[in-house]
Amino acid sequence: MSYLQFLSSGLLLFSFHVLSSVFGCSPSLEHPQVKFCHSYFVIHGTVKSVTKINGPPGDVNDNFAVYKYSILVIKKLKGPAQIKEGKEIIVETSGNGGLCFISLTIGEEYVLSGYKTDTGGLRSLASNIVYMVKDLATMPLVRDYLLGTGINTYKRNCDRKCTDFSTQSTYCKIPDTTFHCYSKNAICRERYGRCKWFNADSCKLSAPAAP
- Known binding positions for Zn(2+): 25
Q: Which amino acid is at 71?
A: I
Kindly tell me the burial class for residue 123, based on how many C-beta atoms sit within 10 Å of its own C-beta (0-12, 13-18, 19 or more).
buried
Task: Report long-range pairs for 138-146 (Cβ below 8 Å, ≥24 apart).
Answer: 139/184, 141/184, 141/185, 141/187, 141/199, 142/32, 142/183, 142/184, 145/32, 145/33, 145/187, 146/32, 146/36, 146/42, 146/44, 146/77, 146/111
Tell me the CB-side half-sphere exposure of residue 21, using CA atoms within 13 A: 7
Segment holding 145, helix H or strand E: helix 140-147
Residues making up the annotated binding site are 25
* DSSP 3-state of 127: coil
